[in-house]
């Protein structure tokens, strides 16, 4: 007992010195290894030899808070270090994390830790995409206010993230439903409005005729019925707010070429935007020569030929026939279904002042998303046939010169220009006059941002009978949500019931006016949040240009593929707009994008389509069957979902296996862009469990060797042992190169783990004298733990604490007084880059290794000379002399030559 007390006291004093003071030279007087302890070295000063379940729990409990405390806030004034901005898509606060969250945040956390170890100034912020329909539904179903429900969920999910050991930049936390955030969402909306990029027009919505309310798409079931009332949903035209994203279509399409590969996402973005070859132009409408208040926008793929217009065509489903237009009756009277119909309405081009008839086409669908189109016979055979059939006059506006060049005729001041020059001149003039001209595709639509909801950002517009729509003065922002106590889900927008809030004075004329009662699509909130993270406490502007310019663009953006089109498009649009407003210097917000795959769980489904719970399934036979009916089940892998009974609670799996094990499993099971089939019985889980055991055993072996009575002396190694140590040195350098590349280039962290597993395997095979005397073994083990630390921070922190107090270390380039996560990322030794004078060239005959010969470095890439040297060597004389060599292949990279010979 006395010796045990002496040991405990000794290591407790060492631990105290390690944690509270600068490192001292410590002379170890006895061995540390104990057979089995119920706690860990960092807590007791005794090294536990076995990495048991209890050890794992003790390690994570000890290091959880200490690792968090190692994160220091970023100083705005510190620009001395290069920056790295890693951003994972922020979650909707639904109340509970799912495994998809765990995957994306494990990736961002791992990469953030790696970049910090590389000496970068890193932010890895977190926030909450907190507005949205589920909160309003909860208010209806549970009699809770959306705000209290949301804040309660945020509090719970924040605790969950903390239990996962994720180190976010919490000092930059944002919540989109708080006025200090949505004030600036409203500010950006007003800037869009002032730039002519936010406007109102009629658009179709899902209408519940029983509850008299607008439904989101997700509130309409597969039978086209309302999820609450059960009524058949109707399509109804309402006046809605739009943001003119088409104004940036061409710029956003072109800038994709300057971005690195996004795992196919660039192609998805390009497809969403479409081929930007034409533009929309604005028209005023007349009836019987009398001007009306109606306007119409129509698309043409050949705006350079606009002076050759013969007509303007609309589809039978156009809003002018079905909405609240004053011309609705006129158009409906002219409509003959299935026939191209001329109407008494004419359209005046606001750019050229040409007046042409408006007709209703027989076909219901136009190209792309169009419902109106400019007819130009000179550039469209379909339009030419239509004009001929209906007797519509038009001018020829193109002529072809002998050299094949096309130029304009009969086109006012644009006559004589080439088509290309006229395209640029006409679209530019239309943009200058604000009558269209933004180059876009026929498929891209403007962004409908109106929502008839309470729990969203109020649109900061007042409707005045005298002045029309008037934006709220910037100094009066934010327009906060009124307090509403009762939510029914029926009727129009809930905001319309708050009469004291709705009725207001016009900011311009001070007369009676009404506030806009629609709120914004939540995609607007998330379209600029990456900017706010750069300056989250700013109360005077959305962000300072200096801060945004320093941190932007986001170096790595991580999120699900399901957000790779709409959210990414809207975020890119807002960034382009802010650039043009001189708010930021970068156009594109994201440099690299990592779209991670799904985590899928196994589902069991009856022929009826019903999904079964695990307890309803009999898995004892050769195929799964329903326990009661014995019906065979359809077994598939699908995205985890409560309704499909295939979800996994992150807290349960972390409680069972530990944080580090789950992190390693998620990173190792598949490349990040691929789906993971969640099956803890696969090779991935046993593999990462064994690897943690091996890391522990390696460190234990090293500590045991170095705390024995023998003193490490590299000069005692013989030639064979030095060669063994040299191979470990080479292996370590190769692994550093490969793992670093995976972290910085392809983010294949599964491959990085495989490389580290290989290095740990090589270290496990080292002879005992190499472990004791070799600085190469010590360095390789330390590098291994440092490289594993971003992925498994708890176990490596404990292992490093054990290494730190080993006496008589041979490697002085590590900061032994700091934790493993505070170490510099390993660099390859300069000598590793030096090419040797002689290369050991492997010789294969018919793909079978036969030996090696020395080859001078300067000829090692010359196949003819290597071929000749092999034939002249003792090995070549013995194995190749007299044989018919059909061909030889040299691989300089792997120092290998393969002879194919006639058998």
Q: Is 738 helix (H, G, I), strand (E, B) or coil?
A: helix
**Average pLDDT, rounded, for the chain:** 89
Confidence at residue 142, expressed as pLDDT on a 0 to 100 scale: 84
Distance CA 489, CA 453 (A): 9
Q: Which residue has the higher pLDDT, 5 or 145?
A: 145
Q: Would you give the DSSP letter of residue 708?
A: S
One-letter-per-residue 3-state SS of 880-900: HCCCCEEEEEEECCCCEEEEE
Q: Would you give the DSSP letter of residue 475?
A: G
**pLDDT, average across residues 122-148:** 90
Query: And the tokens for 5?
Result: 């007390």
Confidence at residue 830, expressed as pLDDT on a 0 to 100 scale: 82
Cis check: omega of the bond before 619, within 30 degrees of 0: no
Q: Could you give the percent of the chain with pLDDT greater than 70? A: 95
pTM attached to this predicted model: 0.86
Confidence at residue 10, expressed as pLDDT on a 0 to 100 scale: 33
Q: Would you give the DSSP letter of residue 306?
A: G
Place of tokens 């929309």: 280
Residues 6+ apart with CB under 8 A from 706: 28, 712, 772, 806, 807, 808, 809
Distance CA 453, CA 496 (A): 10
E-state strands within 624-767: 625-626, 634-639, 676-677
Q: Would you give the DSSP letter of residue 663?
A: H
pLDDT-based confidence at residue 228 (cuts at 50, 70, 90): confident
Q: What is the pLDDT of residues 91-101, one digit of tens each?
A: 999 888 888 99
Distance CA 387, CA 357 (A): 11
CA 296, 347, 365 angle in degrees (round to 5)? 55
Q: What is the pLDDT of residues 584-626, one digit of tens each?
A: 999 999 999 999 888 888 888 988 888 888 888 888 888 888 9
Q: Could you tell me the CA-to-CA distances from 195 to 42, 121, 431 in Å, in that order?
A: 61, 36, 12
Does residue 23 carry a pLDDT above 50? no
Does residue 456 carry a pLDDT above 90? yes
Does residue 442 carry a pLDDT above 90? yes
**pLDDT, average across residues 325-348:** 94
Q: Could you tell me the CA-to-CA distances from 522 to 188, 301, 482, 579, 861 in Å, in that order?
A: 14, 33, 18, 22, 59
Q: Which residue has the higher pLDDT, 584 or 484?
A: 584
**pLDDT, average across residues 839-861:** 89
Confidence at residue 782, expressed as pLDDT on a 0 to 100 scale: 97
Q: What is the pLDDT of residues 620-666, one digit of tens each?
A: 888 888 988 888 888 898 888 777 888 888 888 888 899 999 999 99
**pLDDT, average across residues 62-82:** 80
Q: Could you give the percent of the chain with pLDDT greater than 90? A: 66
Confidence at residue 342, expressed as pLDDT on a 0 to 100 scale: 95
Does residue 2 carry a pLDDT above 70? no
Of the candidate ranges 152-156, 582-586, 761-765, 802-806, the one whose mean pLDDT is the lowest: 802-806
State phi, psi for 880 to the nearest 5 degrees.
Answer: -115, -15
Does residue 696 carry a pLDDT above 60? yes
Q: Count the neighbouring beta carbons within 10 Å of the beta carbon of residue 733.
A: 20
pLDDT-based confidence at residue 75 (cuts at 50, 70, 90): low
Confidence at residue 519, expressed as pLDDT on a 0 to 100 scale: 95
Number of H helices and number of E strands within the chain? 29, 36
Does residue 22 carry a pLDDT above 90? no
Of the candidate ranges 105-109, 146-150, 361-365, the one whose mean pLDDT is the lowest: 361-365
**pLDDT, average across residues 374-382:** 96
Distance CA 513, CA 460 (A): 13
Q: What is the pLDDT of residues 505-537, one digit of tens each?
A: 999 999 999 999 999 999 999 999 999 999 999
Does residue 30 carry a pLDDT above 50? no
Residue 300 bridge partners (DSSP): 279
Residues 6+ apart with CB under 8 A from 660: 56, 60, 692, 792, 793, 794, 795
Query: And the tokens for 104?
Result: 């994306």
How many residues belong to the chain? 903
Q: Could you tell me the CA-to-CA distances from 88 to 310, 574, 795, 856, 889 in Å, in that order?
A: 52, 18, 25, 50, 47
For residue 188, which of 568, 471, 481, 596 has the smallest C-alpha distance? 471
């Amino acid at each position: 007992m006395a010796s045990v007390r002496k040991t405990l006291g000794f290591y407790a004093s060492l631990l105290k010195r390690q944690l509270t003071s600068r490192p001292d030279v410590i002379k170890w007087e006895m061995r540390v290894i104990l057979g089995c302890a119920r706690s860990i070295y960092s807590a007791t000063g005794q090294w536990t030899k076995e990495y048991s379940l209890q050890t794992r729990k003790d390690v994570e409990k000890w290091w959880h808070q200490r690792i968090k405390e190692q994160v220091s806030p970023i100083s705005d004034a510190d620009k001395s270090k290069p920056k790295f901005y890693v951003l994972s898509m922020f979650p909707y606060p639904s109340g509970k994390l799912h495994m998809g969250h765990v995957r994306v945040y494990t990736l961002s956390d791992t990469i953030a830790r790696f970049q910090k170890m590389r000496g970068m100034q890193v932010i890895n912020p977190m926030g909450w995409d907190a507005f949205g329909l589920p909160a309003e539904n909860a208010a209806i179903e549970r009699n809770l206010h959306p705000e209290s429900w949301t804040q309660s969920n945020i509090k719970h999910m924040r605790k969950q993230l903390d239990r996962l050991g994720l180190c976010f930049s919490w000092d930059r936390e944002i919540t989109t439903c708080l006025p200090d955030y949505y004030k600036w969402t409203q500010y950006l909306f007003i800037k869009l409005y002032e730039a002519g990029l936010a406007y109102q027009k009629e658009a179709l919505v899902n209408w519940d005729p029983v509850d008299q309310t607008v439904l989101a798409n997700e509130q309409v079931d597969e039978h086209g019925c309302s999820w609450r009332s059960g009524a058949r949903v109707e399509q109804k035209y309402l006046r809605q707010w739009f943001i003119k994203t088409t104004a940036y279509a061409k710029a956003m399409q072109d800038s994709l070429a300057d971005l690195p590969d996004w795992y196919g996402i660039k192609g998805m973005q390009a497809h969403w935007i479409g081929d930007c070859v034409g533009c929309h132009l604005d028209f005023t409408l007349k009836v019987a020569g009398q001007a009306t208040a109606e306007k119409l926008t129509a698309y043409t793929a050949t705006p350079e030929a606009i002076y050759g217009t013969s007509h303007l065509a609309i589809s039978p489903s156009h809003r002018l026939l079905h909405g609240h237009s004053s011309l609705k009756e006129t158009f409906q009277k002219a409509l003959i279904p299935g026939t191209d119909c001329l109407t008494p309405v004419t359209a005046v081009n606001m750019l050229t002042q040409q007046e042409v008839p408006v007709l209703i086409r027989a076909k219901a669908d136009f190209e792309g998303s169009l419902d109106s189109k400019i007819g130009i016979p000179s550039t469209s055979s379909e339009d030419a046939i239509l004009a001929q059939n209906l007797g519509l006059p038009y001018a020829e506006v193109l002529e072809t010169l002998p050299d094949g060049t096309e130029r304009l005729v009969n086109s006012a001041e644009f006559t004589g220009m080439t088509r290309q020059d006229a395209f640029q001149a006409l679209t530019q003039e239309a943009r200058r006059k604000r009558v269209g001209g933004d180059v876009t595709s026929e498929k891209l639509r403007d962004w409908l941002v109106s929502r008839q909801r309470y729990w969203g950002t109020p649109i900061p517009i007042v409707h005045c009978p005298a002045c029309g729509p008037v934006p709220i003065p910037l100094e009066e922002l934010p327009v906060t949500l009124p307090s509403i106590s009762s939510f029914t889900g029926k009727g129009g927008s809930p905001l319309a019931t708050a009469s004291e809030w709705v009725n207001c004075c016009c900011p311009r004329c001070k007369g009676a006016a009404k506030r806009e009662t629609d709120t914004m699509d939540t995609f607007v909130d998330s379209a600029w949040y990456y900017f706010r993270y750069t300056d989250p406490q700013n109360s005077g502007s959305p962000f300072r240009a200096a801060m945004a310019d320093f941190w932007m663009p986001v170096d790595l953006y991580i999120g699900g593929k399901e957000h790779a089109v709409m959210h990414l498009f809207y975020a890119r649009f807002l960034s382009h707009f802010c650039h043009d407003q001189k708010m930021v210097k970068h156009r594109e917000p994201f440099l690299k994008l990592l779209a991670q795959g799904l985590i899928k769980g196994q589902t069991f489904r009856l022929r009826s389509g019903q999904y079964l719970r695990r307890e309803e399934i009999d898995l004892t036979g050769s195929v799964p069957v329903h326990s009661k009916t014995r019906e065979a089940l359809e077994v598939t892998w699908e995205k985890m979902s409560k309704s499909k009974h295939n979800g996994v609670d992150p807290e349960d799996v972390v409680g069972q296996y530990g944080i580090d094990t789950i992190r390693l499993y998620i990173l190792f099971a598949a490349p990040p862009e691929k789906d993971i089939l969640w099956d803890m019985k696969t090779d991935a889980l046993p593999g990462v469990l064994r690897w943690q055991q091996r890391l522990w055993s390696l460190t234990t072996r090293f500590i045991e060797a170095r705390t024995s009575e023998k003193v490490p002396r590299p000069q005692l190694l013989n030639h064979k042992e030095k060669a063994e140590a040299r191979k470990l040195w080479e292996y370590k350098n190769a692994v550093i190169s490969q793992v670093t590349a995976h972290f910085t280039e392809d983010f294949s962290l599964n491959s990085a783990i495989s490389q580290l597993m290989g290095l740990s395997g090589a270290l496990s095979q080292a002879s005992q004298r190499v472990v004791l005397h070799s600085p190469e073994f010590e360095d390789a083990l330390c590098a291994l733990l440092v490289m594993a630390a971003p992925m498994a921070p708890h176990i490596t922190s404990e292992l490093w604490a054990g290494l730190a107090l080993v006496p008589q270390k041979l490697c002085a380039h590590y900061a032994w007084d700091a934790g493993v996560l505070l170490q510099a990322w390993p660099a390859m030794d300069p000598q590793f880059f030096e090419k040797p004078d002689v290369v050991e060239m492997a010789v294969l005959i018919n793909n079978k290794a036969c030996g090696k010969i020395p080859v001078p470095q300067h000829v090692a890439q010359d196949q003819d000379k290597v071929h000749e040297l092999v034939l002249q060597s003792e090995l070549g004389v013995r194995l190749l002399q007299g044989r018919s060599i059909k061909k030889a292949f040299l691989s300089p990279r792997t120092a290998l030559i393969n002879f194919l010979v006639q058998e």
